Amino acid sequence: MPRPPTFTARAPGDNRPRLIAIDWGTTSLRGVLIDAQGHIAQQRALPQGILQVEPGGFAAAFDRHFGDWLALQPDMCLLSGMVGSRQGWQEAAYCPCPAGFGALCNQLLWLEGAHGIPTAIVPGMSVVPQASVDAAHGVPDVMRGEEIQVMGALHLMGQDSGLLVLPGTHSKWVQAQGRSITGFKTFMTGELFAVLAQHSILGKTLDSSAPLDETAFAQGLERARSSDALSHLLFGTRALSLFGALSPAQSASYLSGLLIGQEMATMQPAAGTRVALIGSAALVQRYTLALRHAGCEAVAFGDEATWAGHQAIYQYLTGTSS
């Protein structure tokens, strides 16, 4: 494994790009080219997730999709997301929580980069129970890609601490303190919604393409405060449909409210908490409503959190200011 490179100060007037920042997930590949002034010069998004790459083909795929950027000789390439998983380019060991921003930078996995450009994978993070990782004593948790978004959002907010929520297929609730990630929890919310809508009996009376019905969504949130098992609350969605009390559009929003409401019931953010939301506009809308329902305030970020996180690493490694 290559050792971390040393970065020397740039010559004045050096106009090469600073950085190629890549988020390479399971189903998508996104990247930005950061110019000499620290701005996004170009961006690219492709439906070429790691599942689309044959084993051993990552270097070639990277070169194919970003060879023109590499030819501009940036200082480095940073890759985050599932590209560091067992199914990715190379497995990057998780940073166990609590882990600070410096630890993350020091545990970058440096690769044999293309075109002689230093290239590293950002490691994911894990929560590992103190006792031992087994089904009897302690259940671990993991993330890959979200750690950089969290660091980026903290940077953008000018904060070192806070509660951050990253809704998605597998939603993450992350606690940060002193520029460290001190703990997090994952919820399979987006995936549960999708498999239930597509493959369960709920799908028969549910229109998952309908726009959000805020009333039905709030009713789902409210219902999720019940201590009853989700499997019972889900059947209730079906029963309400059978009785004509939820239309297919309302059912979709109600189900969404149930699932997001169960996250809220687990995490119980204190009223008045200012929560950073990082995700797509549609999900940010829903979680903003859910947080408001619990008396919290939401501040939203999209892709910019990812790129700010990559830039923060660049600055850490090169001593450049932003």
Q: Which stretch binds a second copy (CB under 8 A): 8-16, 98-106, 160-168, 222-230?
A: 222-230
Contact between 67 and 8 under an 8 Å Cβ cutoff? The reply is no
Euclidean distance between CA atoms 260 and 73, whole angstroms: 44
The residue (of 263 and 303) whose beta carbon lies closer to a second copy is: 263
Euclidean distance between CA atoms 32 and 51, whole angstroms: 21
Q: Does position 214 bind a second copy by CB under 8 A?
A: no
The residue (of 212 and 265) whose beta carbon lies closer to a second copy is: 265
**Contact flags string 145-184 toward a second copy, x per CB under 8 A:** -------------------------xx-------------
Burial of 169 (0-12, 13-18, 19+ CB in 10 A): middle
Both tokens assigned to 115: 């075109």
Q: Which stretch binds a second copy (CB under 8 A): 3-11, 46-54, 74-82, 219-227?
A: 219-227
The residue (of 52 and 186) whose beta carbon lies closer to a second copy is: 186
The residue (of 40 and 163) whose beta carbon lies closer to a second copy is: 163
Euclidean distance between CA atoms 113 and 136, whole angstroms: 42
Contact between 269 and 162 under an 8 Å Cβ cutoff? The reply is no
Q: Does position 62 bind a second copy by CB under 8 A?
A: no
Q: How many residues at the interface with a second copy, by CB under 8 A? A: 51
Euclidean distance between CA atoms 317 and 4, whole angstroms: 10
Euclidean distance between CA atoms 70 and 20, whole angstroms: 8
Q: Does position 76 bind a second copy by CB under 8 A?
A: no
Q: Does position 228 bind a second copy by CB under 8 A?
A: yes
Q: How far is the CB of 279 from a second copy (least distance, A)?
A: 16
The residue (of 83 and 216) whose beta carbon lies closer to a second copy is: 216
Judged by CB under 8 A, the residue of 225, 235, 280, 297 near a second copy is: 235
Contact between 62 and 83 under an 8 Å Cβ cutoff? The reply is no
Q: Does position 40 bind a second copy by CB under 8 A?
A: no
Q: Does position 192 bind a second copy by CB under 8 A?
A: yes
Q: How far is the CB of 126 from a second copy (least distance, A)?
A: 8
Running DSSP on this structure, what letter comes out for residue 30?
A: E
Q: How many residues does the chain have?
A: 322
The residue (of 165 and 246) whose beta carbon lies closer to a second copy is: 246
Pairing of strands 119-121, 109-111: antiparallel
> By CB under 8 A, what part of segment 118-147 binds a second copy?
133-136, 139-142
Contact between 237 and 246 under an 8 Å Cβ cutoff? The reply is yes
Q: Which stretch binds a second copy (CB under 8 A): 69-77, 149-157, 198-206, 283-291?
A: 198-206
> By CB under 8 A, what part of segment 249-268 binds a second copy?
250, 254, 259, 262-263, 265-266
Running DSSP on this structure, what letter comes out for residue 120?
A: E
Which residue type, as a one-letter code, is found at position 124?
A: G
Render 261-303 in DSSP notation, one character per residue: HHHHHHH-PPTT-EEEEES-HHHHHHHHHHHHHTT-EEEEE-T
Find residue 184's DSSP bridge partners. Answer: 174
The residue (of 1 and 136) whose beta carbon lies closer to a second copy is: 136
Which residue type, as a one-letter code, is found at position 198?
A: Q
3-state secondary structure of 125: strand
The residue (of 71 and 242) whose beta carbon lies closer to a second copy is: 242
Binding site for a second copy (CB under 8 A): 133-136, 139-142, 170-171, 185-189, 191-192, 195-196, 198-201, 216, 219-220, 222-223, 227-232, 234-236, 238-240, 242-243, 245-246, 250, 254, 259, 262-263, 265-266
